[in-house]
Each structure stands twice: as C-alpha cells, then as structure tokens.
A = this chain, B = another copy of it.
Amino acid sequence: MSTRTFQHKNTCNTGIDQLTIIMYIMETKEITYQHIKQRRTFLKALTLFGSASLYALLSPMKSSAAINASHHEDGKLILGMVVFDGFQLLDVFGPLDVFGSLRDKVSIIIIGEKGEFAISSAGPILKLDYTFTNAPKIDILMIPGGRGTRREVQNETFINEFRKLAIAAPKVATICTGSAILARTGLLDGHKATTNKRAYVWATSQSDKVIWVPEARWVEDGKFFTSSGISAGIDMALGLIANMFGKETAVKIANGAEYVWNDDPNRDPFAKMNGLIK
C-alpha cells in the first residue's frame, strides 16, 4: 500500500493527527483504501482514543515516511500541483513521477479551485487534496497545461488565487500552456519563459511583457521554471531537482525511471519543427 496518508482537509494543519496514525497502523498491516471505507465504523471508534495516547503509543515508529500529514512538521517540502478540468495528463504526472522518487524529502499534494475532483482532457479523474482556500503553504508550486487553460485564463478567481500561491511559493514551475496561466497573473512580466511550441502564439499572447524564448526545452529565471510542451515537463522537473538537490540526484532519478533525460534546457528540436525558428 502507498505511504500516502489520507488527509482530512480540516485536520491537515493540526500537527500529527489521529487519522495519520491510524493510516500508519493500516499501512503496516497492508490494509488498503478499500478496507478503510468498509471499516469506517472501526475508524470512528479508534479515533476516540485521541491523538495524544496514540502518538505516545506509536512514537518509536514515527520516523517512517508514512507519517506525513503535517507536512512541514516532518521536515518535508510540499509540492503543490494545481489542476483544473481539462488538464493534460503527462504535464501533471511526468513531473510528479520524478518528484515521487523523493518521498523522503517532498510531499505531493493536488490543489484545485473547488470541489473534489479534476478531470483530465483524456478522461481519467484525479482527486483533489486541497482547494485554493485551504491549501497549506507550498514550497514548489506547479501548474500543467491542457485544453482547460483556455477557460482558466478567463477565470478571474482562478487567476487571482493561483497568483497568491505563486507569490508565496519559493519555486514556481509551469508545464506546457501552464505558462499562459502564470503569464496571466502578471508575475512573469520581465522574466524569461517558454511554453508549448504548437500553442506558442496563443500562450505568449497572454502577456507581451514576458520575455518569451521560442527555442528552449525549459527556461529557468529566478524562482520561475517554465517548460515547453507536454513531455518537456519531465526534463524541466529533473532540472528543478538538479537545482534544488544536485544534478547527481536528478540523474539517479532519471536512470531509475529508465528515462533518457534531455538535461540541456537549450536543446529543443520542436521550436524549428513548429516554425518558431529557422
């Protein structure tokens, strides 16, 4: 079973909570998500013991990566991926797969504007962990591209809420046309950035104050990392890992994923293919 802890949104910032501890017990017993639902009554009874006594009981096991509901308190960074209906699958899960190799250092959370789910453009449905209004402080903020960006650049609430998260985050990364949303916040103004090469004209039209770079696999400028289309997010995520944790770590993760990493942010065969350079 995954080391993921099932966070209750209203308990996520209250330190080590009952549910986290119960999840730890379940993990050690290989109890799955299905069991959890079936045993809700059992859970309710168990939580009555209160967090203090359970914490004391389980403290020898606390160092496990399984206990990560109070993210910052366990010393991990929080990677927050913002999604929306019509997100592109690989934009989200390429970067999250490589960061998923850093479970001891980074916790991944999924954030949406509201509700419980976001539907990808290809069909599969992703569960949200948080909404804009209750998301914890993010260390690494990411946003994907996809058809839904065409709607969200017109969605003032989305842009304003995303802007708040992006201002507060020490690292902000966009994949594909996710840069169109970041550009729309105005935060990219005066910064170098890139985006999808096939949707280049539309994406770059979101701000003429951004220094758009047509030939780039990804662009790093201060805290902003922006990638080219879809699969480029994987290369950029590895670049971000190299920036934060060293290149050796990034190479190790790429090799573990049997991925031939294009580690040169300037090597971009798709700019020419799409007529953006000669």
Contact = CB atoms under 8 A, between A and B. Distances in A.
| Copies of this polypeptide in the complex | 2
A73 interface: no
Nearest to A232: B258
A118 B125 CA distance: 11
- Name the residue in A114, A118, A148, A257 with the highest tally of chain B Cβ atoms < 10 Å from its Cβ: A257
A33 B108 contact: no
A44 interface: no
Nearest to A255: B273
A50 interface: no
Interface stretch (A82-90, A182-190, A239-247): A82-90
Given A90-B97, A119-B4, A125 B124 contact: no
Contacts of A92: 93
A172 interface: no
Interface of A: 1-4, 30, 32-34, 37, 81, 85-86, 88-90, 92-94, 96-97, 99-100, 103, 107-110, 113-127, 147-148, 151, 196-198, 228-232, 234, 255-260, 262, 269-270, 273
Counting from the closest, the 10 A-B pairs by CB-CB distance are A100-B122, A93-B93, A90-B97, A229-B258, A34-B115, A125-B127, A231-B259, A230-B257, A89-B97, A2-B119
